[in-house]
Structure 1
């Protein structure tokens, strides 16, 4: 494993295998995100010394970009994961002119990989439209033991909603790309209590924008599972989700989910069965869908039960078996020349 260093600490090993760190720096506007500052030569030497059969590239933007080039130079097959819609992030962070530059950069890098994996059908089609080659879909697993309706804590729920409100929640990073501000459309909805699970650079701003919402901060492990299962309904307004693991974890927790009809949620939410999808940007539709499930407890329960059933087979072991198949396929295909793949 090769990862950027972090002053907060990085494990020296994982599952018995060493973790090698590279020099890193941070973005002034997002100090929690570390970017690798290592050289291409360093990556080339690390890979040459280890002599892998295949290289797994997790979101090749900075560190992964040097990794895919080193793999190609060494003739080692590679599997590249597209995980984050970085070009759209550039727009949301105020740099719209950078969007086409990012697309060109990412297309060049990914087309050097033997196989590219998108986390959803929407993202696969988007990448192909932007000229990415050899793209397939590899989704994400969910820990159905950790995230479970059995983790619901009614006392915690009632502490959030002492007057019997329906608890509508969001879980994720509090940053512009998650569009948590869109939840303002729900702040005056009768009988609703908003609960926000997570932290990030927009927290103070969101606390002012969402009066009456409960902010519980960042949670993990059992505490996160308990908080999530103690909600009544899950809403994720982000339109840049290539997969949206938060929706899948909400479903595993027995919750109906509502999200925009864009990106990963399209594969996860089946309208009228385990939640609703609304047209991106149509906050009136989102509000109406929330009101529908807030006002119909029976439908909300049935949607939640269906949601749980549909993720029970999406375990990490099953999903990782699929990834191993892609590694084998990449090895069979062999490395592709950058000059040929463009």
Structure 2
């Protein structure tokens, strides 16, 4: 589970409620319990292999022809490319060859991961791949102004904004749980929380600068390939593992402060969820957080790499109950109205727009079928 997957599930729910036919093409998984139908959408799984160093991420095998055959048989009205890079690149080419309009979502800053994973020489190649995908797409949607400027600066001009919704019923201040708080901070410490994948690009190790702030307890929610290394680097932190559903909502609402040190977030859904839960945020001043966090009102942003600034802002809010409560109230108010139904309806309007703009081709599409 990550931000991309979460948004896909919300879109599938919306399309199911509309009565659309939906096909999802995705890599296979080793999980025997995985469903073949999700929110009314049939899932066509392609053979895949685990990504080296991160086995929970799988890369689909096969070429463009295989995806083209699937699309030709299904004949969708539009192809939705969710954070495309490997399988999505094949789908972009296949749809283009078939004359099917595409909406591509730029949700992951893959090229910038290269240096974090020790292969900086691949960054230029990765940017070339990203540019090729989004230049081929009928329309690209980005979740933040940072991402919008980033792609336009690379010559990708058919770009629009599509932000992300947040479930304000699930994530709410009322979910705060004193019993849960006592289980992770039995001494009544202020709880500094992080939620997300424990992967290199999230830079969770930066939170070590918060480890010795008096009267606080660091709580890490999530799992991933870096967990063992992080548990060693942050011996006094509480690691809950992956939490979902109401467990996650209870944990987030029970934080006193939410921190996110990652520099490569195109949006950062967990920040919105924390704010909906009435929790102020300290995050890196790059990417998606720039749109979500208002300095000195809903939280603090610090310059990338300025870990002293991170510590200073955390101490400011954990040490001042009145300021923290004011920031919390402002954070909660700032995300009200950002519902998933409203955002998904906006996405459907983008589908309709690219369908209307697409010239008539030789492939006959099914009315109301989306992918």
TM superposition score normalised by structure 2: 0.89
Q: Is the 8 A contact 1:72 1:336 kept in 2?
A: no
Q: How many residues align?
A: 337
Deviations 1:14-49 (A, max 9, x none): 222311111111112110001111321111111111
Which residue of structure 1 aligns with residue 301 of structure 2?
277
Question: Closer, same or farther in 2 for the Cα pair 1:236/1:335, shift >3 Å?
Answer: farther
Which residue of structure 1 aligns with residue 27 of structure 2?
4
Which residue of structure 1 aligns with residue 75 of structure 2?
51
Which residue of structure 1 aligns with residue 129 of structure 2?
105
Unaligned stretches of 5+ residues in structure 2: 1-23, 362-371
Distance 1:211 1:159 in 2: 17
Tell me whether 1:172 sits opposite 2:211 in the alignment. Answer: no
Deviation of 1:188 (Å): 1.1
Q: Which moved more, 1:196-205 or 1:325-334?
A: 325-334
TM superposition score normalised by structure 1: 0.96
Which residue of structure 2 aligns with residue 340 of structure 1?
none
Q: Which moved more, 1:256-265 or 1:19-28?
A: 19-28
Distance 2:44 2:359 in 1: 24
State the superposition RMSD in angstroms.
1.4
Distance 1:124 1:335 in 2: 26
Distance 1:165 1:40 in 2: 54
Q: Is the 8 A contact 1:76 1:335 kept in 2?
A: no
Looking at both structures, which has the greater relative contact order when contacts are Cα pairs under 8 Å and sequence separation is at least 6? 2
Deviation of 1:335 (Å): 6.3
Equivalent residue for 1:93, pick from 117, 139, 163: 117
| Alignment of structure 1 residues 187-206 onto 2, 5 Å | 187-206=211-230
Which residue of structure 2 aligns with residue 331 of structure 1?
355
Deviation of 1:336 (Å): 12
Which residue of structure 2 aligns with residue 127 of structure 1?
151
Equivalent residue for 1:182, pick from 200, 206, 214: 206
Tell me whether 1:254 sits opposite 2:278 in the alignment. Answer: yes
Tell me whether 1:23 sits opposite 2:47 in the alignment. Answer: yes
Q: Is the 8 A contact 1:114 1:335 kept in 2?
A: no
Q: Which secondary structure state, in structure 1, belongs to the residue aligned with residue 300 of structure 2?
A: strand
Distance 1:127 1:302 in 2: 36
